[in-house]
Structure formats: structure tokens, C-alpha cells
Amino acid sequence: MNKQYFIVSDAHGFYDEMMDALHREGFDPENPDHVFVSLGDLFDRGLQAKEMLEFVNGLKKEQKILILGNHELLMEEAIRNGFTWRDIHNGTFSTAIQLTGDFSEEEIRNQMKAHKEWNRYISDCRYYAEVDNHIFVHGWIPNVREGLHGQILGKSKRSNWRNASKKEWYSATWVNGMEAWANGYGVVGKTVWCGHWHTSYGHCHLHRSCSGEFTPDAIFTPFIDEGICAMDACTAYSHVVNCLRIQVDELKEDQPSRE
């Protein structure tokens, strides 16, 4: 079997920018051998939540791999417990308004709880997926201990990250994958695809190819090295969504349950 995977990350509600990137790489939703891969954070910050949700739900199940990002998990938390200042700052509350309407917070939460399209999207998401020698995650795999703001504190005590708990996976969505990789917490023989953290971090601090993370010469293209491909273009700042295409000739795909 010969499939092509089109990987994006952290589109954050910028539907037009994401579709431009997919079209440049030749993605065809009518082609059964084309698979859309999101590394999470499809929503929040941008203003095209409805278009994004319609697109991703319109794809057949076998044509998409959807990874849970910290923003998907933040929305689920807000629906359960209420929106906070953090959700306003991060754009989560704005996404909820776009998908429901400008009602009271209680009514927005009630509508999001019953929102069929949102719940369909969330039910299709997973913490990770593996295709041949590629691992798709949001922040990183749960083999590190992370501190405030996702910085790396050391190696996790867990020996098998694939069996990590929901709590461990939640923590992993906040990790700066490029920092984890630089500290040696990769997977031998695998390429870990990650998002969450702007790629200019790696270009600046690891490859030393620009002078700063948000300086005029900052680079937001994918950060690629042995064992890692980081994809977050910081779209709200750069107005670009990164997209890369890979081809897998002998398909070996593992999409575990969230349970």
C-alpha cells in the first residue's frame, strides 16, 4: 500500500492559511491515498473555527490522523469546569463563541457540551499515532518530566511511554519537543513529529541559524534533524502554516485509543 501523509500543526483556526499550505503540497481530499495529519491545536486564536471543523469532519476516518493538542484539552476542560482568564487569553473562549454564539458563559458551555460536530472531532482525536517509523504527537512523547511552561526537568520514570496515562499524556502536550530532543529524549530508529512550540526556537538555539525567536530574521519553517520534525510555525505571528508530505510504501499504522 502506498499512502501520502500531509502533516500540519498548530493551525489555530487559520483555515485559509492551512488550506493554502495543503494545496501547495498537492493534498487532494478526493484521493483515498492522501491522509491529512494534524499534530493538534487546530483551533483558538484564529477566526475560522467553523470552516476548520467542517473541513476536518468532512474527511473520511481513514483519511485523517488527528492528534490532541493542549488547546483541544483546554477546551474540554473549559466545557467541564468553566472558562477562565487563560481561556480568554489563549483564544479558547473565542472558538467557543464562533461555534455557538455570543451567549452567556453557561449557555456557551451547554451548547459546546451538546455540539455534535465538536464532539465528533474530539472523538476522532488521539494522543499519538505511529506510521512505520514516524511518531505523531503534539508536544512530545511522555518520556520526560516537564516543569512550568514545558521546560525539561529530566527523564520520566516511565519505561514504556506508549502505555502512559491520560495525566502523563496531558503533561506531554505542553513539552517543548525540540528541547526534549536536544536533551536526548527521542526514540531510536523513529522520527518524532511534534508541534506546540514555535520552530524558531530550534532554528535559533539549536541550529543557530537566526539571531532570535522573534527577531526580523527569525525562521518559522519546519525544524528538521535526525529523529525530529517540529512543525509549529507560530501561525498567529507568522501567518503561515507549515505542511510537509511524506510517503509510506509499506503501511504500518497504529492509532491507539485514548482510553
Domain assignment present for residue 224? The answer is yes
Banded model confidence at residue 250, pLDDT cuts 50, 70, 90: low
Banded model confidence at residue 91, pLDDT cuts 50, 70, 90: very high
Top-confidence residue, 155 or 187: 187
Q: Is the pLDDT of residue 259 over 60?
A: no
Domain assignment present for residue 68? The answer is yes
Domain of 24, CATH number, reads 3.60.21.10
* 206-243 exposure pattern, b = at least 16 Cβ within 10 A, e = fewer: beeebeebeeeebbbebbeeebbbbbbbbbeebebbbb
Write out the residue range of the structural domain in which residue 53 sits: 3-254
Banded model confidence at residue 143, pLDDT cuts 50, 70, 90: confident
* pLDDT of amino acid 130: 95
Q: Is the pLDDT of residue 157 over 60?
A: no
Domain assignment present for residue 259? The answer is no
Own/partner contacts of 97-104, CB < 8 Å, gap of 24 or more, are: 98/13, 98/47, 98/49, 98/50, 99/49, 99/50, 99/53
* pLDDT of amino acid 253: 53
Domain assignment present for residue 165? The answer is yes
How many distinct structural domains can be found in the chain? Answer: 1
Question: Among 113, 169, 136, which residue's Cα sits nearest to residue 248?
Answer: 136
Mean pLDDT of the chain: 91
Domain assignment present for residue 115? The answer is yes
Banded model confidence at residue 103, pLDDT cuts 50, 70, 90: confident
> What mean pLDDT is predicted for residues 41-68?
96
Per cent of the chain over pLDDT 90 is 81
Banded model confidence at residue 11, pLDDT cuts 50, 70, 90: very high
* pLDDT of amino acid 135: 96
Q: Is the pLDDT of residue 169 over 70?
A: yes
In the block, residue with C-alpha cell 511511554: 161
CA–CA dist 235, 202 (Å, integer): 16
Banded model confidence at residue 61, pLDDT cuts 50, 70, 90: very high
Banded model confidence at residue 102, pLDDT cuts 50, 70, 90: confident
Banded model confidence at residue 160, pLDDT cuts 50, 70, 90: confident
Kindly report the pTM of this predicted structure. 0.92
